[in-house]
Structure 1
Amino acid sequence: MPELRVEEVLLSRRGVLKVGLWTSAFLTCAGLGASLSGCSPGSSASGFALLRSSDLTFLRALIPVMLAGSVGAPAVPGAADATLHQLDHNLAHLSPELLKLTRQLFDVLAMPVTRGPLTGVWGGWESASPEQIQDFLQRWQNSSLNLLRMGHGSLVQLVMMSWYERPESWAGCGYPGPPKI
């Protein structure tokens, strides 16, 4: 068995720079593609202040998977819809910079050229199984790339804050609601 040297195993400084350069180029092209295709600034979907149709497709697939275990199966569609509207309300109150970053995250997840390699979901979100979405969430949560871990954290916070802000969720976690004044 050949002996491996530390230099062969560890990524060299030049290798790190190459990976950084290729990642930057990939994300720049994805962002440029999103802006040229009209993904980014697009208009809001009907009935929503900020969420766009492409965002709704992704979120309608994601939210039921994230709420599994917090909501009984018969109540999932209503809870997912309420969470979507609360999420839209919350996004309307973000700073412009945070809203821009959130939209960029949604754009990367909506575009087929970035969705497949980054999430493992090669078809559209509407055809993704709950297992595929769960795999995507675990993949991002355990990623060696800090950017993907941050994206996972953002998605979890956005969805869970929007759900647990709703009075329907309070009974399930034992919260009696805000005190009466």
Structure 2
Amino acid sequence: MQRRGFLKLGVGAAVVIGVAGAGVALIKPGLVDGKLGPGARDVMRAAAQAVLYDLLPPPGAARDAALALQLDRLDAFIASLPAPTRKELSDALGLLATAAGRFALVGLSRPWAEATVYEVHEALNAMRVSTSNTRQQIYHALRDLNVVAFFNSPDNWRSVGYPGPVQIP
């Protein structure tokens, strides 16, 4: 096969995967009634554990409670975003919740809920240094959403030694 044939095959495969992914995202959006749907909750829970690992309580009931609270904060933050941004986020999370999207874009072979924190952390790190702008953007979205939702709560400021805003006389 000639180089041109490989390029045509690559472009054709990318189009097919993109159309299939968009179709899946339309069928199962990441956001349902403005909140994280079941698949998106798995994505964001796994990402939160990897991104906020040192800031969360040790594994157990306290960590589970902290992660549930984090997902609630994410729902509240996402609700404050403009409708077009929520639509894009819903599409991306819907795609990431599928096996094909998870594997192609993140590199995780195991479902989000079954992947270890280390596996998700390594996958996110690979996305961070990827040459693909799409993978980098997804990494930044997963990280930034979790960080903003976490540090938007004054209850979490102590974990990094931030005393809070200074009163200006």
Q: CA RMSD in A?
A: 2.4
**Counterpart of 1:104?**
91
| Alignment-derived partner of residue 63 in structure 2 | 76
How many equivalent pairs are there?
Answer: 164
Task: Report the Cα distance in structure 1 between the residues aligned to 2:153 and 2:69, rounded to whole angstroms.
Answer: 8
Identity %: 21
For 2:87 and 2:8, the matched residues in 1 are separated by 27
Tell me how far 1:16 sits from its aligned partner: 6.2
Equivalent position of 1:134 in the other structure: 121
| CA-CA distance at 1:96 after TM superposition | 1.2
Residue from 139, 145, 149 that aligns with 1:152: 139
Show CA shifts across 1:66-88 (max 9, x none): 11112341643333222211111
Structure 2: distance between partners of 1:166 and 1:148: 28
**What's the counterpart of residue 30 of structure 1?**
21
Q: Which structure 2 residue ranges, 5 or more long, are not aligned?
A: none
Instruction: State the match for 2:104 in structure 1.
Output: 117
Alpha carbons 1:141, 1:148 under 8 Å: kept: yes
* Higher Cα radius of gyration: 1
**Which gives a bigger RCO, structure 1 or 2 (Cα 8 Å, sep 6+)?**
2
Tell me the equivalent position of 1:43: 32
TM-score scaled by structure 2?
A: 0.83
Opposite residue 40 of structure 1, the aligned amino acid is P
- In structure 1, the gaps of 5 or more residues are 1-11
Give the alignment's TM-score, normalised by structure 1. Answer: 0.78
